[in-house]
């Protein structure tokens, strides 16, 4: 036994990766049916209704990347996937408007979508909206219903469901804004529609932000990373990358937790959870900002795990599909990562499943 213990110590000292947590056997990936679109989309909304996965809206550059003169195009398409081994169906129904970069969650067999970005009607850019929608799939059609709008037009926000309360956190007022919101709003989705209203909560103690990652672990809210905005020398929006992280409860308010080891801006959200904590998959870490946009190769594949009971982050492996600005949906006991941006201006139609259970 002593010799075995000594051998383990020697291996740990000699192994260059010994400081990194071993990849759990349950951390398994499966590629599902891709969206039947050659480009794919960033900023889609998604959730579950009628036992089916629904994806909505998004934006891409079908006519060339921005540095090639291509313009961003927004969509109002609705897609349905009925089984893990099935194929996506493009529905004849549409969102009420072209929409991307909204917040989305699932509650009581419906997909809730809040805020987002839509193009201006005169074709001169885009703006944020305050719309809140509820989508239901009844097996034959998607029914859309309007809920009370957000207190202010909001895009690139973060959101998570805690019990019946839908939280929308941070964001910005529009694509040319040089500041971000320092606001936390929630709405009770369990009460009648005519009684629903948005309620303000205390601000977290750190900087305002957008494109952060939120999680609900054990009925409590977590907010991690993101970017703040400021005006550059030309008055255009410039980003400040953040790694700070926070925990929020109604009883104790906000408290700061261990910072993420690197920025994880616009990683898939809400973050998938297991019994021990939650995972942040990929995300923009600002490591390629000095490289011309056209030459950037993509985003880190690292998966970070936060364990609230230990206040600790660990590197637990890599994703086969590093993406940003994409929704994550829990469906059939798996975390589903839908489309997203694989490098600036370039989307992917791929859909991946992360199995967090060792039994399946």
Residue 328 structure tokens? 């994550």
- Quick check: 43 and 57 in contact, CB under 8 A? yes
pLDDT for res 25: 41
Residue 120 structure tokens? 């201006």
What would the 3-class secondary structure string for 3-40 be? HHHHHHHHHHHHCCCCCCCCCCCCCEEEECCCCCCCCC
- Quick check: 131 and 146 in contact, CB under 8 A? yes
Residue 161 structure tokens? 């469901």
H/E run at residue 62? none
Domains along the chain with CATH numbers: 25-355 (2.120.10.80)
CB atoms within 10 A of CB 33: 15
pLDDT for res 69: 84
What residue has token string 């260059």? 16
Report CA-CA distances (Å) from 20 to 23, 82, 88, 261: 9, 38, 37, 12
Could you list the mean pLDDT of each consecutive 10-residue stretch along the chain, which spans 360 residues?
Answer: 34 38 63 96 98 97 88 96 96 98 97 98 93 97 98 97 98 97 98 97 97 96 98 95 96 96 97 96 95 92 97 96 97 96 95 80
pLDDT for res 65: 85
pTM of the model: 0.91
CA 11 – CA 198 distance, rounded (Å)? 55
Sequence-ordered list of residues with C-beta below 8 angstroms from that of 314, at least 6 positions apart, any chain = 20, 21, 304, 305, 307
pLDDT for res 24: 55
Residue 95 structure tokens? 């969102």
CA 315 – CA 183 distance, rounded (Å)? 30
- How many helices (H) and strands (E) would you count in the chain? 1, 29
Q: DSSP per residue over 102-125, as a string?
A: -EEEEETTEEEEE--EEE-TTSS-
């Amino acid at each position: 036994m002593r010799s075995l213990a000594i051998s383990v110590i020697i291996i740990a000292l000699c192994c260059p990766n010994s400081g990194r947590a071993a990849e759990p056997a349950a951390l398994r990936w499966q590629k599902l049916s891709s969206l039947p679109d050659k480009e794919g989309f960033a900023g889609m909304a998604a959730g579950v209704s009628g036992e089916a996965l629904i994806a909505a809206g998004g934006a891409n550059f079908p006519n060339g990347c921005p540095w090639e003169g291509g313009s961003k195009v927004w969509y109002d398409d609705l897609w349905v996937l009925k089984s893990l081994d099935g194929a996506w169906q493009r529905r004849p129904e549409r969102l009420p408007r072209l929409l991307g970069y909204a917040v989305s969650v699932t509650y009581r067999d419906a997909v809730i979508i809040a805020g987002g970005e839509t193009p201006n009607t005169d074709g001169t850019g885009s703006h944020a909206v305050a719309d809140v929608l509820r989508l239901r799939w009844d097996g034959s059609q998607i029914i859309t219903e309007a809920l009370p709008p957000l207190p202010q037009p909001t895009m690139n926000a973060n959101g998570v469901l805690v019990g019946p309360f839908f939280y929308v956190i941070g964001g910005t007022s529009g694509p040319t804004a040089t500041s971000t919101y320092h606001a936390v709003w929630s709405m009770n989705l369990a009460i009648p529609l005519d009684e629903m209203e948005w309620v303000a909560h205390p601000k977290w103690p750190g900087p305002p932000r957008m494109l952060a990652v939120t999680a609900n672990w054990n009925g409590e809210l977590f907010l991690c990373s993101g970017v703040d905005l400021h005006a550059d020398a030309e008055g255009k929006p410039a980003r400040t990358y953040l790694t700070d992280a926070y925990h929020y409860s109604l009883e104790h308010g906000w408290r700061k937790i261990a910072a993420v080891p690197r920025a994880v801006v616009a990683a898939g959200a809400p973050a998938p959870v297991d019994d021990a904590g939650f995972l942040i998959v990929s995300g923009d870490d600002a490591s390629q900002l000095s490289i011309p946009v056209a030459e950037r190769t993509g985003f880190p594949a690292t998966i970070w795990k936060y364990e609230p009971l230990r206040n600790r982050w660990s590197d637990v492996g890599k994703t086969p599909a590093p993406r940003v600005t994409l929704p994550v949906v829990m469906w059939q006991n798996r975390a589903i990562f839908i489309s997203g941006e694989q490098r600036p201006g370039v989307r992917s139609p791929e859909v991946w499943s992360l199995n967090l259970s060792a039994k399946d």
